[in-house]
Amino acid sequence: MKKLIFALCLLTFSMGMMAQEEKPKSNWVTGEQESSFPGQMIKYAVCLSPTVIKGQKGDITVSLNIMEFRDNTNYFFKSTGEDFKVDYNVTQRVLLQFDDDSENFYALEGSNNHTSNTLKFPGSYQNKFKKLLKKGKKLKVEVEFADAGTHTIEFNVEGLDPSYIK
């Protein structure tokens, strides 16, 4: 009897491990945090690119961010280590490619607080980006940095909970 119970436990454990393996691993960190406004929550999803660029000031990394606050959702790229090359009077043209689809230019703009480590999607470009993000697995972004030139950043965007894409 003990052998039968052990065998059933082992089988159940093996089936659970197989079910976990079938689920695609997500590179997204998701969650909620309280904002500085009492009772207001910020819902976020962040995907860090494995691409690391050697800049003049050190390593440069880029993340794709989704932030929802008060029924307003923003999509943006954020760099650490060096700023994006941003002209606040001109919308930036950034080349994006999902999976093996044809490449697309998107217009991105510097953040409202004029920090050049953030490029966000204006509302008019968010709908197309959201549709591609829902079905995409790999994302390539060609972007220019202030002192490091133009580079292609890759993201594995597969596995994001669709409730974060609004």
In the block, residue with structure tokens 């079910």: 19
- pLDDT in the model for residue 87: 73
Higher pLDDT, 50 or 14: 50
- What average pLDDT does the segment 46-52 reach? 97
Strands 41-48, 58-69: parallel, antiparallel or unpaired by DSSP?
A: antiparallel
Report d(CA 95, CA 79) in Å as an integer.
16
- pLDDT in the model for residue 102: 78
- pTM listed for this prediction: 0.80
In the block, residue with structure tokens 């659970």: 16
Domains of the chain: 25-164 (2.60.40)
Above 80 in pLDDT, residue 19?
A: no
- What average pLDDT does the segment 159-166 reach? 90
Q: How many residues does the chain have?
A: 166
CB within 8 A of 124, min separation 6: which ones? 107
Average pLDDT, the chain: 81
Q: How far is CA 79 from CA 110, 118, 163, in A?
A: 12, 7, 25
- pLDDT in the model for residue 70: 87
Report d(CA 40, CA 74) in Å as an integer.
16
* Three-class DSSP category at 60: strand
DSSP 86: -
- What average pLDDT does the segment 3-29 reach? 51
User: CA angle at residue 28 from 87 to 85, to 5 degrees?
Assistant: 10
| pLDDT per position as a tens digit, 51-110 | 999 988 899 999 999 999 988 899 999 999 988 888 766 677 888 999 988 778 888 887
Where does the pLDDT of residue 38 fall: very low under 50, low under 70, confident under 90, or very high at 90 and above?
confident
Above 90 in pLDDT, residue 35?
A: no
Higher pLDDT, 32 or 104: 32
